Amino acid sequence: MKPRALDITLPADNLRLANLCGALDENLRQIEAAYDVAIARRGEHFKLRGEPPQMQRAAQALRRFFEQADKPIEVGQIQLGVIEQTNLEQGLQAPAGLLTRRGDLHGRTPRQVEYIRQIQSHDITFGIGPAGTGKTYLAVACAVDAFERQQVERIILTRPAVEAGERLGFLPGDLAQKVDPYLRPLYDALYDIMGYDRVAKLFERQCIEIAPLAFMRGRTLSNAYIILDEAQNATPEQMKMFLTRIGIGSRAVVTGDLTQVDLPRGHQSGLLDAARTLAEVRGIAFTQFLKEDVVRHPLVARIVEAYEKKAQEREE
C-alpha cells in the first residue's frame, strides 16, 4: 500500500519560506521527526506522507511556523513549538513564568507544569524520569525564583560524585577543580537562567553553593533551597542523610533517572528506596516524568522509548 499523502500550499513569500525551512531544510527535518512524516517541498508547495492524523498535525505546524517566519527560526524554536502545540491540543494552559531573567520560562508539558506546582507547594519534591524532561533545569529555575523573591537566603546544589560507567582516575587540582566535572550540568543551568556575571557574584557572596553529596553530612541547612541532582546514584544511607539536613525555612528538590544508575552492581539506589519508603509521607510530592515530557531533540523520546521496550522485554 502506498503511503497516504497530503498537499498544502503556503503563500509565495520567499523570505518566510526560507526562514521556515531553515538551512539545508533542517527545520523541516525537525518537523518530520516530531510527527513521523515525510515532507517534500517544491517552492511554496509541500507534500506530506504518513498517517492521516500525523499529516494534519504536521500541516498545522507548517502553517503556524510560516506565520512566525518573518525572521529566521532556530531549531530549538521548532522543538519547543511542537511541544506547545501538543499542549494546546490537550487544553493545557501554561502557568505564569518564573521570576528569572528568562521571562518565557515555564512548564512545557502537563507533568512539567504539575512539577513546578508541587515544588512551589511542598517542602520536599521528587522529580523522577528519563533524560531531557527538564527535572534539573526546572528545579534550578524554581530555586532562582524563590531566591529572587527573597523566600530563601541561598541556593545549595549537590549531587553524588559517581562516574557514568567509567573510571576517571585521580583528577588534578584542588577540591573545587576535582568535583567540577561532576557538577558541570548544575553550573550550566545556573548560567543559562541567571547569567554568568550574576552567578559569579553570588558565588563570591556564598549565596550559591555547589558541593558533592558526601560533604553534606553533619550540616543543618536553614532558609535554603537545596537540590540533589542525579539522586539515582545516591545510596539509601546518603539519601536519608541528605533529607535529614533540611532545616527551618528550607525546601528540597530531588531529581534522578532510575534507568541510569551508575552504582556498583549489588548496591541499591537511594532514589528507588526513597520512592518506596516515602510514598505515603505527607508534605512530600512525587512527579513521575515519561518519555512524552522530553523537551530535547525529538529523537531523544524515541531513544527512551526503545530502551524502555528493551527493558520490558528483558523482564518478561
User: Domain coordinates of the chain in residue numbers?
Assistant: 5-89, 110-315
Q: Find the range with the poorest average confidence among 35-49, 130-144, 298-312.
A: 298-312
Q: Regarding predicted confidence, which is higher, 86 or 39?
A: 39
Residues 66-123 have pLDDT tens digits of: 998 999 988 777 877 776 676 666 655 545 456 565 555 667 788 888 899 899 889 9
**Higher confidence at residue 275 or residue 167?**
275
pLDDT category at 164 given cuts 50, 70, 90 is very low
Residues whose CB is less than 8 angstroms from the CB of residue 276 and which lie 6 or more positions away in sequence, other chains included: none
Residue 168's pLDDT band, with cuts at 50, 70 and 90, is very low
The CATH architecture to which 5-89 belongs is 2-Layer Sandwich (3.30)
CATH code at 110-315: 3.40.50.300
What pLDDT, on a 0 to 100 scale, did the predictor assign at position 220? 84
Average pLDDT over residues 2-16: 86
The amino acid at residue 155 is I
Q: Which of 3-7, 169-173, 199-203, 215-219 has the lowest mean pLDDT?
A: 169-173
- The overall average pLDDT reported for the chain is 83
Q: How far apart are CA 54 and CA 309, in angstroms?
A: 23
Mean pLDDT calculated for residue range 7-18: 92
- pTM listed for this prediction: 0.67
pLDDT given at position 210: 84
Q: Which three cell numbers stand for residue 233?
A: 546514584
